[in-house]
Amino acid sequence: MYGDRIKKHIFTRRVDQFFRDIYDISKFFRTFFKEAFKRPFHFNELINQCYEVGYRSLPLITLTGFIIGIVFTIQSRPPLENFGASSWLPSLMGIAIIKSLGPLVTSLICAGKVGSGIGAELGSMKVTEQIEAMEVSSIHPFKYLVVNRILATTITIPILSFYCCFIALMGSFINVHFEESSSIITFYQNAFSTITFIDIIESTIKAVTYGFTIGFVGCYNGYNASQGTRGVGRAANLAVVYAMFIIFIEEILIVQIFTWIINS
């Protein structure tokens, strides 16, 4: 009897905490859109955050995209050769990389690198009371710290995504060139022959959505960190885990929506 009461109490507390978290997230979301269109606009800080998110991620994005292009091409060649359709390899690479792999891989890399960095940075500022100090110095911390970082990830990650697609296709071309001595012009013509305007729109929407998710999740967990240095590590970890989980959910939803649009 006593054990049942404890279980019921724990369950009730978890339900209460769940709805409390939903309220806090919706409030954070509403505050972002409220502050994003209000003056003052910190353009210098926005450019600085775009630099931190974009330029500092280029080496990792370049290496990962290049390897993905080569590996995916190597793995896709034998099945296509078995059906006598090896000439469709560039088209397959174009569809797979531009529609799915480019935005998804870029966002997962940035979720690990950028999302954890944002969560740790804001979490450290929160537990050391630097955010409260900014309020005393007449600087709106939410506007300066959160809005600029979310906008930076939303703007920069789509650019990184298309860059990753280009590098991945270059890696794919190198493999195709060594196997078939195909020219780069022929390869890219075949790669983009089956890509439509809707595919580009879908890829762009994915990248923008993933970028916003990474920035929002990282800022939310960092800005609401507590419990000292332990809370900083927890904020960085949750920023990565939650961002990746939400990105996979968004991938499923966006693919389903565009599949419905194309088939309707």
Reduced to 3 states, what is the DSSP secondary structure of residue 139?
coil
Residue 34's CB is within 10 A of a number of other CB atoms, namely 12
Tokens of residue 171, six digits: 């890696």
* Contact predicate 203/161, CB 8 Å: yes
- pTM assigned to the model: 0.88
Show me where the domains of the chain are located. Answer: 42-263
Confidence label for 36 from pLDDT (cuts 50, 70 and 90): confident
Q: Residue 116 pLDDT > 90, yes or no?
A: no
* Contact predicate 101/205, CB 8 Å: no
| pLDDT tens for each residue of 165-219 | 999 999 988 888 887 777 888 888 888 888 888 889 999 999 999 999 999 999 9
> What is the structure's pLDDT at 10?
61
* Among candidate residues 187, 181, 175, 180, the one with its CA nearest the CA of residue 74: 175
Q: Residue 107 pLDDT > 80, yes or no?
A: yes
